[in-house]
C-alpha cells in the first residue's frame, strides 16, 4: 500500500520543464507529484505568442500551457497553489523531506523546475507604482493602456515582444534600451522596425514619477550625459530574469557564477537524487529546451530510483 504523502519523485514548479518531468516520471512508473506555488505554466502563461515550439505554428502561451497541463494531469498528480518552503536531504538516507505551506512529503527524488523571477529596475517609483502604471506583464495589464502612452524597458526578446503586443493593442509605445543595439532575435528586431515603435537608445530609467498613477519617467541619456522627463501613463519592465534558487541553495546545490543551477547532461545536480530542469539551469531559455530538460531529468530520476 502507498505510504501517505510519499512519492518516488516530486517535481517542484509546473512550468513547461516541470510538467514534462511529470509526464515522463509518471509514464516510467514512478509515483510522481508536481507541486506549483501558483498556477501551472510559469512565465509561459505570459508569452503573447509562441511561434518556435515545434508542432504549433503560432499559439498563445496560455493555450499551450493549458494543453500541457491537460496532458500532464493524465499521468501525474498536480498540486497548484501550494508552495514548497523547504527541502531537506539527510545525507545517505533514502528519502528527501519536503515541507510546503500545506503538508509534508517524503520522496526518493526531487526535480527542481523553479524557473526565474522578473528582474527589477531598482529605481524610485518602481515598487510604489506597481499596479498603478508599473507592470511586468503585457498580457495581464496591457489592455488598460489602450490608446495611452507606454514605455517598455529592455532590449531582449521579452521587451520587443511586449512592445509589439502593446502596439497591436493600440497603445502609443516607446522602447527604451540602455545600449545602442538590441539583444532580441533578429526576426523580432525586424518586426519592431516594421511596426514603427520608436526606440530611445543609450537611455536608462532613473525614476518613475506620478500622483495616484504613473505620469512621468526620468530618463538619463548615457551618451549625452543628459536627463529629461518623459510623459507616460505606463511603464512595462522587461529587463530579464533572476534564477529562483531559494530552495536549491540550502540543499547545497552548486550554482554557476550567474546563480543558475549547475547540472550534468543528465540534469543531475551535485546532490544525490536532486535534479534540475528548465530556466533554473540557465542557458537557452526556450520552452522547447525546458521540456527536453524536464524529460531528461525524469529519466535520470527513474534510473537512480529504480537502481
Give 20 or 158: the residue with its C-beta nearer to ligand NAP: 158
Q: Give me the residue whose beta carbon is nearest to ligand NAP.
A: 156
Instruction: Determine if 152 is a binding residue for ligand NAP (CB under 6 A).
Output: no
Give 28 or 158: the residue with its C-beta nearer to ligand NAP: 158
CB-facing half-sphere around the CA of 55: CA atoms within 13 A: 4
Per the annotation, the verdict on 40 as an active-site residue is no
Instruction: Determine if 36 is a binding residue for ligand NAP (CB under 6 A).
Output: no
Instruction: Determine if 183 is a binding residue for ligand NAP (CB under 6 A).
Output: yes
Instruction: Determine if 179 is a binding residue for ligand NAP (CB under 6 A).
Output: yes
Give the binding range for ligand NAP (CB under 6 A) out of 84-92, 156-164, 190-198, 225-233.
Answer: 156-164
Instruction: Determine if 241 is a binding residue for ligand NAP (CB under 6 A).
Output: yes
Of 212, 214, 205, the residue nearest 232 (C-alpha): 214
Helices 61-73 and 16-27, axial angle in degrees (round to 10): 20
- Tell me if 275 sits within 8 A of 30, measured CB to CB: no
- Among 235, 261, 285, 291, contact with ligand NAP (rule: CB under 6 A): 285
- Tell me if 40 sits within 8 A of 19, measured CB to CB: yes
DSSP states of 38-86? S-TTGGGGG-S-B--STT-SSB-HHHHHHHHHHHHHTTSEEE-S--EEE
From the candidates 51, 101, 140, 256, give the one annotated as an active-site residue: 140
- Among 27, 124, 178, 216, contact with ligand NAP (rule: CB under 6 A): 178
Give 31 or 279: the residue with its C-beta nearer to ligand NAP: 279
Give the binding range for ligand NAP (CB under 6 A) out of 34-42, 149-157, 226-234, 293-301.
Answer: 149-157
- Tell me if 123 sits within 8 A of 144, measured CB to CB: no
Instruction: Determine if 141 is a binding residue for ligand NAP (CB under 6 A).
Output: no
Judge residue 80's burial from the number of C-beta atoms within 10 Å of its C-beta, 0-12 exposed, 13-18 middle, 19 or more buried.
middle
Instruction: Determine if 239 is a binding residue for ligand NAP (CB under 6 A).
Output: yes
- In the chain, alpha helices (H): 16-27, 61-73, 138-141, 157-169, 186-195, 248-251, 287-305
Give 17 or 305: the residue with its C-beta nearer to ligand NAP: 17
Cell reading at 20: 514534462
Instruction: Determine if 219 is a binding residue for ligand NAP (CB under 6 A).
Output: no
Instruction: Determine if 154 is a binding residue for ligand NAP (CB under 6 A).
Output: yes
Q: How many residues does the chain have?
A: 307
Site residues for ligand NAP, 66-105, by CB under 6 A, read none
Going from the C-alpha of 129 to that of each of 31, 139, 291, the distances in angstroms are: 45, 18, 35
Q: What is the DSSP letter of 130?
A: B
Per the annotation, the verdict on 140 as an active-site residue is yes
Per the annotation, the verdict on 157 as an active-site residue is no
Where does this chain bind ligand NAP (CB under 6 A)?
52, 119, 121, 154-159, 161, 178-179, 183, 204, 238-241, 285-286
| Active site residue ranges | 137, 140-141
Amino acid at each position: 500500500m502507498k505510504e501517505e504523502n510519499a512519492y518516488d519523485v516530486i517535481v517542484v514548479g509546473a512550468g513547461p520543464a516541470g510538467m514534462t518531468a511529470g509526464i515522463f516520471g509518471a509514464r516510467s512508473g514512478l509515483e510522481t507529484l508536481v507541486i506549483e506555488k501558483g498556477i501551472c505554466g510559469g512565465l509561459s502563461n505570459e508569452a503573447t505568442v509562441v511561434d518556435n515550439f515545434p508542432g504549433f505554428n503560432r499559439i498563445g502561451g496560455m493555450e499551450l500551457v493549458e494543453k500541457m497541463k491537460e496532458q500532464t494531469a493524465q499521468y501525474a498528480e498536480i498540486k497548484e497553489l501550494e508552495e514548497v518552503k523547504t527541502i531537506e536531504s539527510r545525507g545517505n538516507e533514502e528519502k528527501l523531506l519536503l515541507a510546503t505551506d500545506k503538508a509534508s512529503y517524503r520522496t526518493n527524488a526531487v526535480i527542481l523546475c523553479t524557473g526565474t523571477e522578473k528582474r527589477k529596475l531598482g529605481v524610485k517609483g518602481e515598487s510604489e507604482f506597481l499596479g498603478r502604471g508599473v507592470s511586468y506583464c503585457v498580457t495581464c495589464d496591457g489592455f488598460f493602456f489602450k490608446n495611452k502612452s507606454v514605455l517598455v524597458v529592455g532590449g531582449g526578446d521579452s521587451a520587443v515582444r511586449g512592445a509589439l503586443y502593446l502596439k497591436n493593442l493600440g497603445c502609443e509605445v516607446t522602447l527604451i534600451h540602455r545600449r545602442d543595439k538590441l539583444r532580441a532575435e533578429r526576426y523580432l528586431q525586424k518586426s519592431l522596425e516594421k511596426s514603427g515603435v520608436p526606440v530611445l537608445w543609450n537611455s536608462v530609467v532613473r525614476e518613475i514619477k506620478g500622483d495616484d498613477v504613473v505620469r512621468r519617467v526620468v530618463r538619463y541619456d548615457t551618451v549625452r550625459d543628459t536627463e529629461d522627463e518623459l510623459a507616460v501613463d505606463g511603464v512595462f519592465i522587461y529587463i530579464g530574469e533572476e534564477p529562483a534558487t531559494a530552495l536549491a541553495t540550502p540543499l547545497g546545490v552548486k550554482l554557476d557564477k550567474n546563480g543558475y543551477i549547475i547540472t550534468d547532461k543528465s540534469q543531475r545536480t551535485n546532490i544525490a537524487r536532486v535534479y534540475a530542469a528548465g530556466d533554473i539551469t540557465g542557458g537557452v531559455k526556450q520552452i522547447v529546451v525546458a521540456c527536453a530538460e524536464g524529460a531528461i531529468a525524469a529519466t535520470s530520476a527513474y534510473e537512480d530510483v529504480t537502481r
